[in-house]
Amino acid sequence: MSVPLDLHFHDTQRPGLTAGDYTVTVTQKVTSPKNGELGKEFFQPLVQPVQVTAPRFALDPVTVHAVHPANGAAGRFDQTLPHCTLRRPSLPWQRLIGSDSKHQDLPWMALLVLGPGEIREDPAAGGLATPRTGADVPKAESGVAVPAVTPTAAEQTLPCRTIDVLATVFTQVCPRDSDDELAHAAHVRKARPAAAFRGEELVEGDFAVLLAGRLPRKPGPYAAHLVSLEGHGKHLTGTLPGNPQWVRLVSLWSWTFTSKDGARHFPAVVGKLAGGDLLLRRPPRGTAGGSAAEKEVRRRLNRGYVPVPSRLSSGEQTLAWYRGPLTPVVPPALPDLPQHVTSGDHAAVYLPDHGVFDIGYASAWSLGRALALSDADYVASLTGWLAVARRTVTRMLTTGPPESGRWRVPASPGERLTAWFANGPADAVAAALDVPPGSRPDRESGPPSGERTAPAAALLHTRAEEVADALAALGAETTELVNARSWLRRLELLEQVPFGYLVPDAGMLPPESLRFFHVDQDWLSRLCAGARGVGRFGEVDALAERAMTAIAPPPRPQAGLLLRSALVSDCPDLVIEVSGGAGVEILRRSVLAADVLICLFDAVPASVVLREPAQGLHFGIDGPDVINLRQPTGTDCGKEITGRKLTGLAAFQRDTQRAVFRFGTHSSSLSTALAKQHGIGSAAFKSSDLAVQLLNSPHQITFPAA
705 pLDDT band, cuts 50/70/90, is: low
The model's pLDDT over 250-266, given as tens digits with 9 standing for 90+, comes to 999 999 999 988 666 77
Residue 363 phi/psi, 5° resolution?
-65, -35
What pLDDT does 338 receive? 63
Per-residue model confidence as pLDDT tens digits over 497-507: 999 999 999 99
Kindly give, in sequence order, each residue whose CB lies less than 8 Å from that of residue 440, ignoring residues fewer than 6 positions away: none
Whole-number pLDDT of residue 411: 53
What pLDDT score was predicted for residue 245? 97
How does strand 144-145 pair with strand 246-259?
parallel
Q: Can you count the helices (H) and strands (E) in the chain?
A: 16, 35
Q: What is the rounded CA–CA span in Å between residue 643 and residue 33?
A: 75
367, 347 contact by CB (below 8 A):
no
Question: Which range is least confidently modeled, 148-162, 453-467, 584-598, 634-648?
Answer: 453-467
- Give the rounded percent of residues in the chain with a pLDDT score beyond 70: 81
**Neighbouring C-alpha atoms within 13 Å toward the C-beta of 314:** 2
Out of 151-160, 510-519, 582-591, which region has the weakest mean confidence (pLDDT)? 582-591
Query: Which pLDDT band, with edges at 50, 70 and 90, does 7 fall under?
Result: confident
pLDDT tens per residue, range 37-74: 887 777 888 999 999 999 999 999 999 998 989 899 88
Rama region for 315: left / alpha / beta (φ>0; ψ in -120 to 50; rest): left
Distance CA 509, CA 518 (A): 15
- Is 87 in a helix, a strand, or coil? coil
- CA 396-397-403 angle, to 5 degrees, is 75
Q: What is the reported pLDDT for 615?
A: 57
Check pLDDT > 70 for residue 194: no
Give, rounded to a whole angstrom, the gap between the first and last alpha carbons of the chain: 31
**Pairing mode, strands 586-593 and 513-519:** unpaired
Count CB neighbours of 506 within 10 A.
11
CA distance 627 to 670: 10
What does the pLDDT look like over 97-127, one tens digit per residue?
A: 998 888 989 999 999 999 999 999 999 999 9
Answer with the residue of higher pLDDT: 9 or 43.
9
Q: Is 276 helix (H, G, I), strand (E, B) or coil?
A: coil
CA distance linking residue 224 with residue 67, whole number of Å: 10
Grade residue 195 by pLDDT with cuts at 50, 70 and 90.
Answer: very low
pLDDT tens for 614-641 read 656 789 998 889 999 999 988 888 888 9
pLDDT band at 479 (very low <50, low <70, confident <90, very high): confident
Of 489, 550, 535, 525, nearest to 386 by C-alpha is 535
| Ranges 18-27, 348-357, 396-405, 551-560: which has the least confidence | 396-405
CB 639 within 8 A of CB 631: yes
For residue 674, the 8-state DSSP code is H
Query: Is the pLDDT higher at 190 or at 431?
Result: 190
Asked whether the predicted pLDDT for residue 415 surpasses 90, the reply is no
pLDDT band at 672 (very low <50, low <70, confident <90, very high): very high
List the single range of 26-30, 197-201, 302-306, 464-468 with lowest mean pLDDT.
197-201
* pLDDT number for residue 597: 96
